[in-house]
């Protein structure tokens, strides 16, 4: 509950100040969605268009790119969803199942609200023709967002420090920023602050071999891949375990910014390819049955 309340606060603040604490920020999520558009097959693209055509929610603009940040905007109204954006795989115990409360049903285990399990649930709901139109639309918007979150390293790792939000790092002119925000926004926007230009730049770097490699595996493997980036790169600052109000800011080691940008670029590319792969798998072969009751 403490973690859920803490991140509910962070996400509520992000709604008021959009670039503050959303995973990847709007720039990163928009870039992931833009990359994914490049790889949607015609049936999946038609199914996505059909879903968006009946979506009258006003939390964000109603296009595919803007809807990639819808789940962050929702947290202000539904703070309990904040914990759905993270899976707390501990640095000293890299076990997804342990982080998500074992194999118990969602209703019986609060930890089943972790990012991986929620994504599994929303993917099933999106794929099931028996899902109600309203529930399918919600599932689609969460899939659109949470696959991006799964690739933000600090949304898959924790050092008993609220995924880095308790860790202050020295950044800028005698200023500090928490480690989570550094990875959410700074590491993205120092590559390119404009989402469309960022997506274009990253898309041009994706090879057919990259795409083939990244379309393999499943959610837990992708989560552990992101966790490994967090372990080897994001947490390569020597920060202490847990939260302490009197901790001094950590100075980023030499080369950290460059390593963070490289890891961020890779994770954004993987997320875009895998978002398209997921939507193609779910909607690309079942578009008529998946959307017929909402047209």
- Across the range 65-94, mean pLDDT stands at 95
Return the minimum-mean-pLDDT range out of 3-17, 150-164, 210-224.
3-17
pLDDT confidence of residue 58 = 95
pLDDT tens string 219-273: 999 999 999 999 999 999 988 887 877 778 999 999 999 999 999 999 999 999 9
Q: Where in the sequence is the domain holding 119, given as residue range(s)?
A: 2-291
> What pLDDT is stored for residue 291 in this prediction?
37
**pLDDT reported for residue 247:** 79
pLDDT band at 113 (very low <50, low <70, confident <90, very high): confident
Number of domains in the chain: 1
pLDDT above 90: residue 15: no
DSSP class of residue 93?
A: B
What is the share, in percent, of the chain residues with pLDDT greater than 90? 77
Taking the complete model, does pTM exceed 0.95, yes or no?
Answer: no
Q: Per-residue pLDDT averaged across 99-111, rounded?
A: 55
Helix (H, G, I), strand (E, B) or coil at 114: coil
Confidence band for 290, pLDDT divided at 50, 70 and 90: very low
β-pairing verdict for 168-171 and 175-178: antiparallel
Q: For residue range 46-62, list pLDDT tens digits in order.
A: 999 999 999 999 999 99
Take residue 72 and report the two structure tokens written for it: 């962050």
Sort 15 into a burial class: Cβ within 10 Å, 0-12 / 13-18 / 19+.
middle
- 2 pLDDT higher than 60: no
Domain holding 140: CATH number?
A: 1.10.575.10
């Amino acid at each position: 509950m403490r973690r859920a309340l803490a991140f509910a606060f962070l996400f509520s603040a992000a709604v008021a100040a959009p670039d503050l604490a959303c995973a990847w920020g709007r720039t990163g999520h928009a870039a992931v969605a833009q990359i994914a558009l490049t790889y949607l097959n015609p049936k999946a693209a038609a199914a996505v268009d059909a879903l968006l055509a009946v979506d009258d929610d006003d939390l964000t603009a109603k296009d595919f790119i803007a809807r990639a940040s819808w789940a962050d905007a929702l947290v202000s109204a539904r703070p309990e969803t904040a914990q759905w954006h993270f899976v707390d795989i501990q640095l000293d115990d890299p076990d997804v199942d342990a982080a998500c409360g074992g194999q118990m049903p969602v209703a019986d285990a609060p930890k089943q609200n972790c990012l991986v399990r929620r994504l599994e649930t929303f993917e099933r709901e999106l794929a099931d023709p028996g899902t109600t139109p309203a529930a399918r639309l919600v599932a689609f918007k969460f899939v659109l967002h949470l696959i991006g979150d799964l690739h933000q390293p600090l949304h898959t790792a924790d050092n008993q420090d609220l995924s880095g939000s308790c860790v202050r790092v020295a950044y800028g002119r005698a200023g500090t920023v928490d480690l989570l925000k550094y990875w959410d926004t700074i590491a993205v926007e120092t590559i390119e602050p404009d989402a469309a230009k960022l997506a274009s730049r990253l898309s041009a770097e994706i090879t057919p071999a990259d795409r083939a490699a990244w379309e393999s595996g499943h959610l837990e493997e992708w989560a552990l891949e992101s966790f490994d980036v967090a372990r080897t790169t994001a947490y390569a600052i020597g920060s202490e375990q847990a939260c302490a109000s009197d901790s001094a800011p950590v100075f980023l080691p030499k080369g950290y910014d460059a390593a963070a940008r490289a890891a961020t670029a890779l994770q954004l590319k993987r997320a875009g390819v895998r978002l398209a792969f997921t939507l193609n798998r779910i909607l690309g072969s079942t578009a008529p049955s998946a959307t017929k009751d909402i047209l």
